[in-house]
Amino acid sequence: MILEKIIKTCLQYKIENYSINSDGSIDVDGNVDLSSRNLTILPVRFRRVIGNFNIHNNLLTTLYGAPIAVGGNFNCFNNHLISLLGAPKWVGGDFYCYQNQLRSLGGSPEEVVGSYYISGNENLENLKGCSVKIGGNFSFDDILLSTYFGDVEIEFDGNFFLNETNYNAPNTRKLPDVLLRNMRHIKLILKYQRYFYMWNDDLSFNRENFDILIEEIEDGLR
C-alpha cells in the first residue's frame, strides 16, 4: 500500500528515475521540479537527489522530507519558511533560500559547494546557523542587526554581495554604517569578528573593537 502510494505520487508530480528505499524515502537520479505547485508540505520524502531540487514558489512552512544531499542546486526561495530545519546537509550547487520568513539560519547545509543566497528574509537578525563552508558567493541584506554567527568560522571562496534595502523605510534595521563603509574588508571582518569581540554579549556593536580589527586588517592581517 505504501509503495503504491509513493509510485502514484511520483507519477502525479512527474518524478522520474527514482528508487524507493526501505524507509519509504526515495533517491532520484536526476532533477526534481516541484516549483509553483501551491505545496504546503512535500508530497514524498527524499533521501538523495543527484541533480537540482526545485521547490520554489510554493507555500511551504517546513522542509521536512527534503533530501539530505543534493548534487545540483537547492531552490526553496519564495515560500513561507521560518526555519531551515530539514534542509540538505550537503549541496553540490547553489543554495537559494531568499524571500522567505526565516527567523534563524539554523538547519542550513553544512557545506554548499556553490553560492549561498539568503536575502529577502526580513525577520533575520544575524547569521547564526549559517553554512560554515561556502564555495561560491555569499549574499545577505543590510537589515540584519549584526553579522554574528556564533563560535564558528564561515569560509567562502567567492565574492560577497550585500543587498541594500530602503534606508528611509520606517523601522528598517540595518548594519552599522561604519561596517557598511568597510565592506571591502568583509571577508576578513567575517573571518576575525569573533576573535576581536566585535559584537557584545547582547549582540550590540562594539565600535572600539571593530576599529581595532580594521586597523589590524589595514596593517596586513590576512
Of 121, 114, 41, give the one whose Cα is nearest residue 71: 114
What confidence category does residue 107 fall into, taking pLDDT thresholds of 50, 70 and 90? very high
Report the DSSP beta bridge partners of residue 18.
28
Whole-prediction pTM value?
A: 0.92
Given a cut of 80, whether residue 98 has pLDDT beyond it is yes
What is the average per-residue pLDDT within 49-67? Answer: 98
The dihedral region occupied by 145, where left means phi > 0, alpha psi between -120 and 50, and beta the remainder, is alpha
Question: From CA 117, how far away is CA 177, in angstroms rounded?
Answer: 22
pLDDT tens, 165-216?
765 555 566 889 999 999 999 989 999 999 999 999 999 999 999 999 999 9
Question: How many CB atoms within 10 Å of residue 129?
Answer: 19
Cell numbers 566585535 correspond to: 198
Could you report the per-residue pLDDT of 157-172, keeping only the tens digit for each?
Answer: 888 888 877 655 555 6
State residue 112 phi and psi, 5-degree precision: -120, 115
Burial track 62-87 (b if 16+ CB lie within 10 A, e otherwise): bbebbbebbbbbbbbbbbebebbebb
